[in-house]
Amino acid sequence: AAAKLSPCRRRRNLRASPDHPYRSVAPGPRADCAAFGSSQAFTMDSTIGMRGDGFVLLAADANAGRSILIYKQDLDKILPISENQIMATVGPQADCSVFGEYIQKNMRLYELENQINLSTFGAANFIRGELAKALRRGPYQVNLLLGGAAKDEEASLFWMDYLGTLQKVNYGAHGYASNFVLSLLDAHWEKGLTEEQAIEVLRKCIKELETRFMIALPKWSVKVVDSEGVRVIDFN
């Protein structure tokens, strides 16, 4: 009798999705070995975020790699999705790029059709809905932090994972950084944090990663969003 193949060795039976005509999705459980949460073991991304007094700060490592290879060290993983909202993603580069651009363009389309931007809360629920809708058809392996600070709303930070889990937080992290920095954020974050204080807390977090984490993360992309827009912080 022929030996049974493991799920990772089976040929995937793909079909076109009516909701995503340019994507192929498996009708049943995904058959690739890197599915779902295991993707972090290959991409080794890290993102850190915190909410301050009228602003949100997001930081992401600039490595683009997989397994034991580093392809580049200047990748910007923090995407502006509107004038006052930014999104930091971790996961396989293909999923992060496709999903990030999909969200960015749909946010722009909503603005053009309605002559108004979605609030950060509205954007968070829209993104969460897209992750949840794709979950059983062709899930995006994307975890993300969403930050926003418009003139008519309080600065807010949202934590989301690939399962569509959504939570409003004061600080958060994804990827391997979450194993090291959450205790530091818990100890040093405080209400009314200034931008200078937030950058100092971030320095403590990155110093901890440099000391304890075996994978080198030499370059970071850091951005701040407030009521005036998005700014890049020269951190390195």
Give 121-145 pLDDT, tens digit per residue. 999 999 999 999 999 888 999 999 9
pLDDT digits (tens, 9 = 90+) for 140-180: 999 999 999 988 889 999 999 999 999 999 999 999 999 99
- Mean of pLDDT values over 191-218: 94
The CATH number of the structural domain formed by 39-63+72-233 is 3.60.20.10
Whole-angstrom distance, CA of residue 58 vs CA of residue 137: 30
What are the extents of the domains in the chain?
A: 39-63+72-233
Residue 60, pLDDT above cutoff 60: yes
Whole-angstrom distance, CA of residue 225 vs CA of residue 56: 5
The reported pTM is 0.81
Q: What angle do CA 146, 180, 187 make, to 5 degrees?
A: 80
